[in-house]
Chains A and B, each alone.
Chain A
Amino acid sequence: MRSSGVMNLEQHVGLQKVSALAGLTLSSLGPCKAYKFIQEEEEEGGRSSGRAALVCSCLRLLESVQPSCAVGQLVSEAVRAHHAACGSGAGCLLFLAGAWSRAALECLRRGMAPLRVVGAMREGLDVCLQACRTHRVRLDTATEPRSPALSTEEDAARRTREHPRKGRGKVKLTHSRYFCGAAPDPASLVTPPSPPDVGPTARALSHGHDRSMELVLRVARLQAVLDVGKVVTCVVPGVSEERACVSPGWVVRLPPEKVAVTRLLSGRSLRVALIAGDLCRRYRHPGFKTPQGLSHVTDRLDPGGSGEEGRWTDGVLTSLLRLGVDLLLVSGATDDSLSLRCLVHGILPVDRVRASVLQAFAEATGATAVTYAAQLSQRCVGAGAKVTPWRDLGERRAVIISSEAGGGLATVVLTGCVPAKLQSMEDEFWACAHRLHGALRDGAVLPGAGLIEVVCVRDLRKHARRPLKLPGEAEPEAGGLYRAEVLRLMADGLMDYVATVMANSGRCSKLEAWTEVSQKVERLDGLSGVLEDEKGPAVTSGDGAEGTVYDNLSVKVEAWTRAMDLVFLVLQTDAEIITGVDPETLRTQTDLMLL
């Protein structure tokens, strides 16, 4: 029987839930993140394993906690969508969703209508986004080793004198498969200008993860232009963290019997075949329905029934040998006996290859990926692949697979003695890669270290002091009488963000951080639009090296907008309907009503 119950939310439980979920991730905000252990409780039936995970990013935390309530689902959905689009900034999103939920709760407590709160908050968000647009730092100025200031003509002139080439050098962007757009300007391909040094920008975007960003920079140098779609990470446990490195091509760890074959192959130009799918007899492409009710009849006895299997293996091997394939990259699994027989014949099969790697090899070697081995023909086989043993880190089992044509693939080998931390380190590397890639794509960054938030706080407060109805404006603005209060509460949310990041760095307590941020806002209040050599309230981590810090423009704008979306969605929701409730269990719950 299908039935529904209604839950009445009198004190706006939804906003409180968002705030509580955001509270979980307080410690994973800013450059100095704290690790959290998450342990699954062991159940009686032994269904869950009691596994523990070490997490430090907001995304992984939500993944492990898996909130099941409706609000939790909305939060997870927002964070997941943001991460898919931007690759970083999930913590910022969730914290502000929490902080602005508290602001909205406070508004409701003061008796404001939700509609007014939404109107005023939307206006406030516009003020913040406008501040981001005004104070963004263009990347050609950002690569200069100086603090962000809005460029004046004099500035520009001086720069051109000092670095005549740099001033003109356009930042070249690639469009990987994740960030496709217009085709690259052909002119810039014909006469490649010396690529501008992205080092300072990258260091300013590292947010305390200098080691990861250094790896990103090395990838960028290797690829000439950073293309995150062609970066692969390879994790080697048991080696100290300092020894992480970057290598051109694709570094992969193989079982010993395969490593033996690579010795025969190294130094030669190899012919490569690509298989998208599993390489075994029973595999069928997705969408193929195995027929039901089909029975095979025979008048001969087939001992062991292995004839079919053997014939298939023979067939595949014959065609591989006929085509002269040396290297077989398979995106799925490979049949064990086929794999062994390939090795005997000096063919190296590599399975579980990521789709992006397969794609890169297809481009670089001219091979075409096929689904079945039977489809392989001269046309599908590419040429010019290389396999070389990789001997760094004392690794005996890793090889580099690359192509003579380059292909732009780069592998980042991440190392670590603590296996539980490896996942976080990988996440950290990807966050840095996406930050730099995003900054190059935007062509601009925001002054970081909390400075842009402080500017927003100032602008919000200034906006709150504006008269409700300006002369010449036809209608009062959406926020109504409470507008100023809402904007101030929103500004407090941003203050809280900066203060929390500062407190997380361990330099000061939250209270001291608040004081410092408020002083900062007051100092800025005197200035007009321009940030003259202003530094943020220094949220970088401990060791005193306070360089310039930048934030990503589009990531911040997206995170704020999505946080606001989340608050609006929850704020405007007044009831939760639960479907499929059993009428018997309903009797015990008095706050539910069966319809």
Chain B
Amino acid sequence: MARLSKKLPALCTDLPLENPDVIQKFTVFKQLLTSCFGPNGKLKQVHNNIGGHSVTTSTSQVLLQSASPSHPLLKVVATSVLSHVSRFSDCGLFTAILCFALIDQAKLSGLRRNVSISINEYLLDMCTTYLHQDGCGCKVKLDFSSSKNLITLAWSVISSKPACMLTPQEALHISMLAVQAFLLTVPCETPGNVRLGRTVTVSVEGPAIATSAVFPGLLVEVPDHLTLGNKHNLQPQRLMKMVLFSVSLSGDLFEMDEGTVEVNHGADMESEIMDQLLVVGQRAVKDQVELFVCQKVIHPVLQQYLNQHDVVVIERLGAALVEPLAELTGSQPLASLVTAISPEAYGHARGLNVKIFGSKRMLHLEGPGEAGICTMALCHRNQTVLSELKVACQKAEHVLRLTLREPSALLGGGCTETHLASYLRHKGIGEVAEAASSLGCSQTEYRLGLEAFCRSLESVARALEHDGGTPLVDLTHCHHWTVPVDVTQGQETLSPPPRCGCGLVSSASVERWTFLNTRYDEFSPAAAAALPGDSTSSQPRVLDCFAAKMNALQVAVETANLLQDIRYIIQDGN
């Protein structure tokens, strides 16, 4: 007898952004992400309710991947942020915070949804145009003849992840390693099409952070009893022939999908396969292979055979290292046993030596030419901080690569946001009549929308402070300044810190400040770098990735617009 279960009706939420339940969830989610922002951000512990592995992080990517929200509106934000981060690595939290701020401000301004959306789009265009201009006051041209700005860029990414638990010196050391790794992946002498290499990150728990280092070539973890035979004191320049298998050589039978295979009793499948494996080994020995690498397990008998013929054997290389190793050595990963090894499949490696990091033994392999492949060995005291450090370094490296596409960076520390807000106010007020008519709204609406957008930008700068400090903005360059909370206590007058958020402007060169959340008469902010007399020390200390921030700006505005545009949420309850 068939059982009938009653179908549940779909759940429909009208105007979700005005629903108190949704608003509450929005607020908590916003606080959660906002409190992670910047070098002084708070960490989050993510774990499941049955005592599983716990993660401590303040990185948007790790946070949103391990704790994905279930409410559809929050999911939209999380997905936007994650897809932005997967392409640009940096500015994930910026995206989320700006998106939330735009929605909040739009609500406060009381504008109709469609008006607010079109004004946001208009202002986004204005931002993009300004940031791409040469005279943009919050942009720094990167100079590849010096590594200073590159290190600053990497440092800004790494020091914005407090869960890495680095002292300032350690953060600088790791930033320099990131730049070093990046430079190793840029080919020097290749004419024509330039192809970037890649960095492989290896993490080692235990040794001091200062032992972290970058090596050209690859580091492959090997067991204690690896036999290097007579290869350990070779000439470092001598090339060794090598072969790389991506198929398992453990003597497994072929993969059977469905059905059974009948084997005559007495027939020994394993020895048949073993014979085949040994043929492969004999072939390799005959072809004078000196290094035999397999992604998966190699049958002990084959290993023994190869060792007896003075071939160094590396098994369990792992899928992640196959491609870099193939690129490094010029070998082709062999995916089957049956075909005879063609001469082109062999590669060459040089300089086998064993490096020891704490409890791990690593075999250092270098390629014959310049393949642009390097390994970053990261050491830290425990697994929790090490995994965050690994993420931070990968982000820093990606950010550095993005500079090749667009050799500029934006001022960090909230200065770009305040400067941009000031510029938009000045520019927007100047052309209010034209803008309003082209947008088809009233001038008042346009002014409201403009103010909402600028305040949203400024609230991102404000989000950098978590400990009750007072945010200021100067009335010359419109950079962002923060007065720490214990300095303001018991003092009548505000004494601004010696330098602004990005470190480009010193307090000596500025005359007037105002609180960030107060109104000030709009003016055209001066570009800070062009300041006379301050040229010796005018080096920014915090820089953000240009490409990442441009895209983040776009994603934030588009996501905010999308969310504002949602009229109903319909959830199927079945």
State whether the Cβ of A332 lies closer than 8 Å to any Cβ in chain B: no
A298 pairs with B486, CB closer than 8 A: no
B165 pairs with A595, CB closer than 8 A: no
A572 pairs with B43, CB closer than 8 A: yes
B45 pairs with A593, CB closer than 8 A: no
Please measure, in the bound complex, the distance between the C-alpha atom of A68 and the C-alpha atom of B225, giving whole angstroms: 36
A374 pairs with B301, CB closer than 8 A: yes
B304 pairs with A370, CB closer than 8 A: yes
B100-108, B193-201, B247-255, B443-451: which one contacts chain A?
Answer: B247-255
A595 pairs with B301, CB closer than 8 A: no
State whether the Cβ of B241 lies closer than 8 Å to any Cβ in chain A: no
Using Cβ atoms and an 8 Å threshold, which residues of chain B touch A288? 250-252, 297, 299
B40 pairs with A115, CB closer than 8 A: yes
A295 pairs with B259, CB closer than 8 A: no
Cβ contact of B67, chosen from A4, A70, A561, A569, cutoff 8 A: A4
B382 pairs with A77, CB closer than 8 A: yes
Cβ contact of B264, chosen from A6, A116, A298, A368, cutoff 8 A: A298
A174-182, A386-394, A543-551: which one contacts chain B?
Answer: A174-182
Using Cβ atoms and an 8 Å threshold, which residues of chain B touch A580? 48-50
Q: A375-B304, A574-B42 are in contact. Are A579 and B70 (CB under 8 A)?
A: no
Using Cβ atoms and an 8 Å threshold, which residues of chain A touch B264? 296-298
Interface of B (DSSP majority class): loop
Interface residues on A, range: 35 or more
State whether the Cβ of A287 lies closer than 8 Å to any Cβ in chain B: yes
Using Cβ atoms and an 8 Å threshold, which residues of chain A touch B486? 112-113, 116, 480-482
Cβ contact of B260, chosen from A116, A294, A561, cutoff 8 A: A294
Q: A113-B486, A293-B261 are in contact. Are A359 and B25 (CB under 8 A)?
A: no
B27-35, B124-132, B363-371: which one contacts chain A?
Answer: B27-35
Using Cβ atoms and an 8 Å threshold, which residues of chain A touch B47? 70, 73, 576-579
Shortest C-beta distance, B259 to chain A (Å), equals: 6
The 8 A CB mask of B248-291 against A (1 = contact, 0 = none) is 10111100101111111110010000000000000000000000
A298 pairs with B44, CB closer than 8 A: no
Please measure, in the bound complex, the distance between the C-alpha atom of A576 and the C-alpha atom of B165, giving whole angstroms: 19
The 8 A CB mask of A110-147 against B (1 = contact, 0 = none) is 00111110000010000000000000000000000000
Size of B's binding interface in residues, CB under 8 A: 79
B467 pairs with A2, CB closer than 8 A: no
Please measure, in the bound complex, the distance between the C-alpha atom of A576 and the C-alpha atom of B66, giving whole angstroms: 12
The 8 A CB mask of A341-375 against B (1 = contact, 0 = none) is 00000000000000000010010000011111011
Please measure, in the bound complex, the distance between the C-alpha atom of A481 and the C-alpha atom of B262, giving whole angstroms: 81
State whether the Cβ of B300 lies closer than 8 Å to any Cβ in chain A: yes
B300 pairs with A291, CB closer than 8 A: no
Please measure, in the bound complex, the distance between the C-alpha atom of A178 and the C-alpha atom of B54, giving whole angstroms: 28
Identify the closest chain B residue to A80 (Cβ): B382
Using Cβ atoms and an 8 Å threshold, which residues of chain B touch A422? none
A85 pairs with B35, CB closer than 8 A: no
Cβ contact of B70, chosen from A372, A474, A595, cutoff 8 A: A595
State whether the Cβ of A533 lies closer than 8 Å to any Cβ in chain B: no
Please measure, in the bound complex, the distance between the C-alpha atom of A156 and the C-alpha atom of B65, giving whole angstroms: 61
Q: A113-B486, A180-B356, A475-B498 are in contact. Are A576 and B45 (CB under 8 A)?
A: yes
A371 pairs with B206, CB closer than 8 A: no
The 8 A CB mask of A286-324 against B (1 = contact, 0 = none) is 111101111111111010000000000000000000000
The 8 A CB mask of A59-88 against B (1 = contact, 0 = none) is 000000000111101100110010011000
Shortest C-beta distance, A279 to chain B (Å), equals: 13
State whether the Cβ of A573 lies closer than 8 Å to any Cβ in chain B: yes
Q: A84-B206, A115-B466 are in contact. Are A285 and B299 (CB under 8 A)?
A: yes
A573 pairs with B300, CB closer than 8 A: no
Identify the closest chain B residue to A3 (Cβ): B70
Cβ contact of A372, chosen from B45, B49, B51, B301, cutoff 8 A: B301
Cβ contact of A562, chosen from B45, B381, B484, cutoff 8 A: B381
Q: A575-B42, A579-B46 are in contact. Are A565 and B381 (CB under 8 A)?
A: yes
State whether the Cβ of A187 lies closer than 8 Å to any Cβ in chain B: no
The 8 A CB mask of A480-491 against B (1 = contact, 0 = none) is 111000000000
B48 pairs with A575, CB closer than 8 A: no
Please measure, in the bound complex, the distance between the C-alpha atom of A177 and the C-alpha atom of B486, giving whole angstroms: 51
Please measure, in the bound complex, the distance between the C-alpha atom of A474 and the C-alpha atom of B503, giving whole angstroms: 14
State whether the Cβ of A508 lies closer than 8 Å to any Cβ in chain B: no
State whether the Cβ of A150 lies closer than 8 Å to any Cβ in chain B: no
A575 pairs with B467, CB closer than 8 A: no
Cβ contact of A565, chosen from B50, B66, B74, B382, cutoff 8 A: B382
Please measure, in the bound complex, the distance between the C-alpha atom of A568 and the C-alpha atom of B297, giving whole angstroms: 41
A–B Cβ pairs within 8 angstroms, 23 of them: A4-B70, A14-B45, A74-B45, A74-B56, A77-B383, A85-B358, A113-B469, A178-B359, A287-B297, A289-B250, A291-B253, A293-B258, A295-B261, A296-B263, A298-B265, A375-B301, A481-B489, A558-B381, A569-B163, A572-B43, A573-B43, A576-B44, A577-B46
Pairs of residues from A and B, 4 with the lowest C-beta to C-beta distance, nearest first:
A287-B297, A298-B265, A68-B51, A113-B467
List residues of chain A with CB under 8 Å of any chain B CB. 1-4, 6, 14, 68-71, 73-74, 77-78, 81, 84-85, 112-116, 122, 177-178, 180-181, 285-289, 291-300, 302, 359, 362, 368-372, 374-375, 379-380, 474-475, 480-482, 558, 561-562, 565, 568-569, 572-581, 593-595
